Amino acid sequence: MVSQNKVAFDTNMLLNIARFKIDVFQETKKMFGNVEFLVPKQVMEELDRLAGEGRVLRKEVNVAKMAIENNKVKIIENNEKNADEALKKMASEAIIATNDKALKDSVREMNGRVLYLRQRKFLEMA
């Protein structure tokens, strides 16, 4: 059996789908082929919170949630206090998709792999 890449998404990467009109799920599949998509429950909670912060954000959240549903993303339960901590915990087994500089740096320090959006249209590995 082919080992499957796991990619865990941070909130900002999911919001970029609507913001920059990029299908991060499709682009990830192009890069890695067969991928299992993950999102910690804290990211889902963050999306729900952000949906209450205005019309534009609500639209971006709705697009993100539709993409999560359409791509059969697995919601991961854990006990971390926030999304960044949850993603850091997942870094040993999954590629972390984020544009959050602090999170990117901590994942790299743990020898994790980071997928990020460059120039608003290209996904790149670090």
Number of H helices, E strands in the chain: 6, 6
Domain ranges of the chain: 5-125
Full-model pTM: 0.94
pLDDT tens per residue, range 34-63 = 999 999 999 999 999 999 999 999 999 999
| 5-125: CATH architecture | 3-Layer(aba) Sandwich (3.40)
pLDDT value at 96 more than 70: yes
Can you give the pLDDT at residue 126?
87
Can you give the pLDDT at residue 1?
40
* Residue 12 or residue 3, greater confidence: 12
Can you give the pLDDT at residue 2?
45
How many degrees, rounded to 5, is the angle at CA 123 between CA 118 and CA 125? 95
